[in-house]
Amino acid sequence: MAIVIKLDEVLHDRRMTLTELSARVGITLANLSILKTGKAKGIRFGTLEAICEALDCEPGDLIERDRTRPPTKDEVDVEAST
For the chain, domain boundaries? 2-81
- Residues 26/50, Cβ–Cβ less than 8 Å: yes
Q: What is the pLDDT of residue 82?
A: 46
DSSP readout, 13-63? HHT--HHHHHHHHT--HHHHHHHHTT--S---HHHHHHHHHHHT--HHHHE
pTM: 0.79
pLDDT tens sequence across 30-53: 999 999 998 998 999 999 999 999
Say which CATH superfamily domain 2-81 falls into: lambda repressor-like DNA-binding domains (1.10.260.40)
Give me the tens of pLDDT residue by residue for the chain, a chain 82 residues long: 588 999 999 999 999 999 999 999 999 999 999 999 989 989 999 999 999 999 999 999 999 998 887 766 665 554 554 4
